[in-house]
A and B are shown apart, each in its own frame.
Chain A
Amino acid sequence: MNKNKEQLLNKRYKAEQRFRLYGQSAIFMALLFLTIFIFKIFSTGYSAFQKTWLIVPVTFDAELMMLEQNPSKEDIQDADYYDIALKSMADLDLNANEDQENELKRMVSYFFEKEIKNELLNDPSLIGKTKEVYLTASDDLDQVFKGNYPRDLPEDQRRVSDYQLKIFDQLVANGKVESKFNISFFTNADSREAELAGIASSFMGSIFSILVCLMIAFPVAVLAAIYLEEFAPKNRFTDFIEVNINNLAAVPSIVFGLLGLGVLLAIFQLPRSTPLVGGITLSLMTLPTIIIAARASLKAVPPSIREAALAMGASRMQTTMHHTVPLSMPGTLSGTIIGLAQALGETAPLILIGMVAFVNTIPGSPMDPAASLPVQIYIWAESAERGFVEKVSACIMVLLGFLITMNLFAQIIRHKFEKKWS
């Protein structure tokens, strides 16, 4: 009898331990996913911040460039660089036949003419001389140099030929291949060529959308929260507004995209693909988030503040505007930043209003077509080229960097400026 009891107790203790273990492993799993995730993104993305350059001797032959004696700046600007660019690539292998010369040309980006031209514009005295110029390597060779390219595939299954690899390996052995920090990733707009593609256009698109979103959502949400928390009578209509807000907070984001498409584009005829429309759509999405945060922080202001102000003869409007609202601002602001961070990571609604268009110029205003960072991630992730994989991860790192900064900022505002009332 006693033994039975002990067994039972042991069983119950075992069950207790097992349950505890389930809980621990659940937490462990969640954190494991997070770690794998971050590790994967960083390990594929960090190499995109480096760019591979080929150092190629270029002879600035005035005759090939069709330049006269003592050319002016304009002449240099208009000169023909294609021939010398082609020649300097072909000279990498003096025995190359015509096909091989073509392959040599494809070892650098199609931007190589311009890179050579810039070199001469910086130093016009180079005419007639030979100088080693840094040329952007093609994205496949860039991947080869970073060790991400499967060199052991049969030749007909890869885009880099054996011949190109041979020349490239010679260049590497001679120290004529160099890897430098990839500035163009931050200053270039999107491009079809992975080695030239950058995030500048989508970054500006994101900034403009977020600004439009902030300018619309913040005032409207704060005013609405003040009304609902401080002035609204308790009646059916107020309840209806509240139900609406809570529902909107949980409506799938793609539905807001349909709203943008069906109302903003089709009825109001706003320009497609622009951060203006994107920002308005996002503002409708963030509105409930900010309203809920602002109401919570208004609610947290103790009634004694209001009572004191009212007792001093302030009207209700004065009490609210001079005392309650300023005291609630830290909470409201941090809620706003969190809402904006959500909006910054949103993709689906922007795709529907056409912000997936290929944009190779940097937008200068919210009325210019643009992409945004998350949409850029989507566009690049759908590209087949190998070079885009690391670009996607790098773009994700930039985006996550922004989100983390914004969230930290929200935390700081909350902890530094919020008054504790107890």
Chain B
Amino acid sequence: MNLILFTFIVLLGFTSYYFGRKKAYTIQSTKKRLTALPQFYGYYLAIWCAIPAFIIFSLWAIFEPTIVKLLILSDYSNQGYLDDELNLIYEKTKALSRGQFTGEITPFIEASAEKYLSLRSIAQSSKVVIVLSAIIASVAYAYKRISSNSRTREPVEKFLNAVLFTASLAAILTTVGIVFSLIFQTIDFFKVIPLFDFVFGTHWYPAKAFVRDSSEALDPTMYSDTFGAVPIFAGTFFIAFIAMCVAIPIGLMSGIYLAEYASYKVRQYAKPLIEILAGIPTVVYGFFAALTVGPFLKELGTSMGLEVSAESALAAGGVMGIMIIPFISSLSDDVITSVPQSLRDGSYAMGATKSETIKRVIFPAALPGIVGSILLGVSRAIGETMIVVMASGLAANLTLNPLESTSTITAQIVVILIGDQAFGDPKTQAAFALGMSLFLVTLCLNIVALRVVKKYREKYE
């Protein structure tokens, strides 16, 4: 039904474009001067035809279920039901009206189901009537405007401008959506677990929250010493540190080499090849780390008499480092290439060798940009999920030994939220709290990094 109405509105929009343009030609044939190109008459009519109808249509779709629910449940309002029970009654009613109800049918629910069906059919027909009358009214108005040859280009362009502006709000809406989805769960979480325990506690054992019987009331004392995030934060930064130990030297040196030494030919092939590393999906890296690097390190360690976990932080961090190489190399390559040639020439004129010029002149000049690129790399390493989930451990050990397994924020979020989630459970909320801290940390890193890079660019442009 909705689909038919939707298609009908779209078709009407197209036809009204045609009629609007035709009207313009008729006006033109009376030797009157048009105020805009004929197609704008068409656009004008089409917009007036379709847009009000769509607005009503979507508002209806949003509010209809809520209103129907309110009307159905008003029958039960003074019988002292709880909210959950009312929801259950409503679900039963809906199921019954669809003929999918399997439980015991009480007369109350049967009456409600009948009421539900009649309300729905009233809603459907009134929707059609209202949408159609809206179309008729707005088209009549627009057609009158066209016939009197008033301006059409300006309103059409204003409308388009508004559409463009709305689209550009999508980015803000997404950010708002992220904050919105994280903040409520996080606040609920900190109502049960004190912020202090979360930030400074050293035991992370969310599985404990599973042990309780779900019908029992929440007992805050039970959760003390369960959601201490220090091991997780430490593990996250530790693995990121290992990753940067791999990525910074290799990435930076290859960036410098590509920018300063490499011949055109080498650059042409080496640069895109290195960038392939950035295009490989992270789950593939995770598989590689878990299947190849982890066992390899374990064997290597055993042969040297070391105890290495098969899911060591070293394996996850090392592979993550490989993934980050191209980010650092291409960003620092860009940054170094944009250092003005005059600085190099000055240094060469003083008799410096190429490496001395790079180390003493170009590197200091490019430093802010390089720092920015490293910060972006760190932010990637902290937010990286799949490598850690697959190659590093899931138990949160507080350790600084790269051969043991540790866990990270992202890995814990996945572990907690994989499968079915019960919203309102401290365990689920803990994942959102972790997500919030991840978002905040990476946000700060990104803002600083982007600002540093931008300042640097402005300096030399």
Contacts and interface: CB of A to CB of B under 8 A. Distances in A.
B130 interface: no
A245 interface: yes
B291 A389 contact: yes
Interface residues of A, number: 85
A15 B290 CA distance: 39
Contacts of B185: 262
A232 B258 CA distance: 38
Interface string B248-280: 011111101110111000000010011011011
A315 B157 contact: yes
Specify the main secondary structure of chain A where it touches its partner. helix
B376 interface: yes
Contacts of A223: 163-164, 167-168
Nearest to B292: A40
A422 to B, nearest CB: 18
Interface of A: 12-13, 15-16, 18-20, 22-27, 29-31, 33-34, 37, 40-41, 44, 219-221, 223-224, 226-228, 231-232, 240-241, 243-248, 250-259, 261-263, 266, 284, 287-288, 291, 315-317, 341-342, 344-348, 351-352, 356, 374-375, 377-378, 381-382, 389, 392-393, 396, 399-400, 403, 407
A254 B283 contact: no
A206 B182 CA distance: 27
B438 A252 contact: yes
A261 B421 contact: yes
Contact of B181 (A22, A259, A377): A259
Interface stretch (B171-179, B202-210, B299-307, B337-345): B171-179
Contacts of B131: none
A406 B376 CA distance: 26
Contacts of B180: 262-263
Contacts of B287: 377, 381, 392-393, 396
B151 interface: no
Nearest to A227: B164
B311 interface: no
A44 B253 CA distance: 32
A348 B386 contact: yes
Chief secondary structure at chain B's binding surface: helix
Contact of A378 (B283, B322, B353, B410): B283
B432 interface: yes
A9 B226 CA distance: 63
Given A27-B254, A407-B279, A251 B439 contact: yes
B1 to A, nearest CB: 17
A315 to B, nearest CB: 6
Contacts of B438: 252, 254-255
Contacts, number: 261
Interface stretch (B15-23, B101-109, B121-129, B443-451): B443-451
A377 to B, nearest CB: 5
Given A227-B165, A247-B446, A399-B281, A356 B170 contact: no
B118 interface: no
B160 interface: yes
A20 B438 CA distance: 39
A15 to B, nearest CB: 6
Contact of B174 (A22, A287, A374): A287
A377 B281 CA distance: 11
A317 B157 contact: yes
Interface string B198-234: 0000000000000000000000000000000000000
Given A251-B178, A374-B281, A34 B276 contact: yes
- Residue among A30, A263, A381 with max Cβ neighbours from chain B (10 Å): A30
B382 interface: yes
Contact of A37 (B153, B288, B359, B389): B288
Given A254-B385, A396-B284, A261 B417 contact: yes
Contacts of B355: 15-16, 18-20
A12 B356 contact: yes
Listed from nearest, the 7 A-B pairs whose CB atoms lie closest are A252-B383, A262-B181, A23-B257, A345-B281, A223-B167, A26-B253, A19-B355
Interface string B316-330: 000000100110010
Nearest to A380: B287
Residue from B279, B290, B390 having most chain A Cβ neighbours under 10 A: B279
Kindly name the residue among A25, A224, A389 whose own CB sees the greatest number of chain B CB atoms within 10 A.
Answer: A224
B413 interface: yes
A19 B447 CA distance: 33
B410 A348 contact: yes
Contact of B177 (A231, A263, A342): A263
A378 B160 CA distance: 44
A18 B180 CA distance: 53
A356 B171 contact: no
A374 B283 CA distance: 6
Contacts of B353: 12-13, 15-16
B423 A266 contact: yes
Contacts of B413: 254, 258, 352
